[in-house]
Amino acid sequence: MTDAINKTETNNQGQENKDATIVSLKKYQRRLIIVTGDKGGVGKSTFARGLVQTYIDGGVKFIGFDADSSNSQLLRFYGEQCNLEALDIFESGSIDIFFNDLRGKIFPKIVDGKQAQPEKLFLLELPPQSRRILQEFIERMEFLRILEEDYDTRVTMVVVISRISDSVKQLINLYEFCDNKVDYLVVKNLFFGKEQQFTRYDKSEEIKDIKKKLKSQSLKFYDINMPDLIEHAYDHLDANDLTFRQGTEQIEYPAVKGRVSYWLKDFKEQLKPVKGILGLDEVEL
């Protein structure tokens, strides 16, 4: 009898592992990229701008949501370049409206006998100090489960980090309520130091355990670098509200042109190993 019970438990465990693997290997029709960092000034807006520029350069159709109302860099730099919308997640009920609106973009209604093209790729940049709202959204509204089961949409959680321990703690906390329901991409912002100086992240036993758990389910936990753009070039773009592409096309300041051109090329090179979880499958970087 004991052997039979053990065999049943083993079979059940095996089925659970198999199911997890099936989910992880599944090809999803749609993708939502959420860029977070929780701490202000960590570089999430810079990453989001670089990703938007990559989408535009590659002719990728997407809808972006700029929820960082205190520092709306996406709207400021790219509001006239692509489809971007403002979102104030701190306003009561706004996150519910966002969820319903997302469904409407995935399955647009027929108006006057015409139906808009269904959307497949979405980008959401969260503001600083929004982790509690995100957690409530995921736990109390079952956001991730409904997206996956009803709309065949997988979420990529992009976490931009600095070298401080708070970045690691926030990442661990994020995993606690997202678990294996999202794909993870950690971005080391090299503005804060060289790649090998992110020791608190690299040596964290908790992070190693998370990676090990996800690997056992055929899920990957990626980390890449975001190159540092020299200060004078970054400031020139900021002062003149220039996109990264406009920075490469202006001719008045050749040093800025060269620095931004190299940065954008390096940025895209970093994205190559993670194209599949950023909606860039068909783009040649």
CATH of residue 65's domain is 3.40.50
List Cβ neighbours of 31 (8 Å cut-off, separation of 6 or more).
120, 121, 122, 153, 154, 155, 156, 277, 278, 279
Total number of domains in the chain: 1
Task: For residue 80, give the nearest of 47, 110, 56 by alpha carbon.
Answer: 56
List Cβ neighbours of 40 (8 Å cut-off, separation of 6 or more).
71, 128, 129
Instruction: Determine, yes or no, domain membership for 38.
Output: yes
Task: For residue 222, give the nearest of 184, 180, 176 by alpha carbon.
Answer: 184
**Cβ neighbours of 57 (radius 10 Å):** 14
Domain that holds residue 174: 29-229+268-277
Instruction: Determine, yes or no, domain membership for 145.
Output: yes
Statement: residue 21 has pLDDT above 50: no
Instruction: Determine, yes or no, domain membership for 208.
Output: yes
pTM of the predicted model over 0.85: yes
> Is the separation of the CB atoms in 154 and 28 below 8 Å?
yes
Mean pLDDT of all residues in 225-234: 97
pLDDT in tens, 112-135: 778 778 899 999 999 988 889 999
Instruction: Determine, yes or no, domain membership for 247.
Output: no
State the pLDDT at residue 25: 56
State the pLDDT at residue 7: 46
